[in-house]
């Protein structure tokens, strides 16, 4: 969960940096908006999904250990 927060924070910092960068290159705003509204949420949900999956696997493993 901590790594996820760190990841989102770094992504936010990158977004701000990109916005600063765009003041010099306005013709790339469309690409950057696509990146921000498509790629970042996809990555976020992917990471969320992976963490959920691994935690459920750990729970299953613990459950199997308790059964034995």
pTM of the model: 0.36
Phi, psi of 32 (to 5 degrees): -65, -40
Cα–Cα distance for residue pair 1/5, rounded to 1 Å: 6
Q: Where are the alpha helices (DSSP H) in 1-68?
A: 2-22, 29-34, 40-67
User: pLDDT truncated to tens, each residue of the chain (68 aa)?
Assistant: 677 777 777 777 777 676 666 666 666 666 666 677 777 778 888 888 888 877 777 777 777 777 76
Structural domain boundaries in the chain: 2-67
């Amino acid at each position: 969960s901590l790594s996820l927060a760190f990841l989102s924070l770094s992504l936010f910092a990158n977004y701000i940096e990109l916005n600063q960068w765009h003041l010099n290159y306005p013709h790339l705003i469309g690409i950057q908006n696509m990146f921000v509204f498509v790629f970042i949420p996809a990555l976020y949900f992917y990471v969320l999904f992976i963490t959920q999956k691994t935690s459920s696997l750990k729970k299953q493993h613990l459950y199997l250990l308790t059964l034995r």
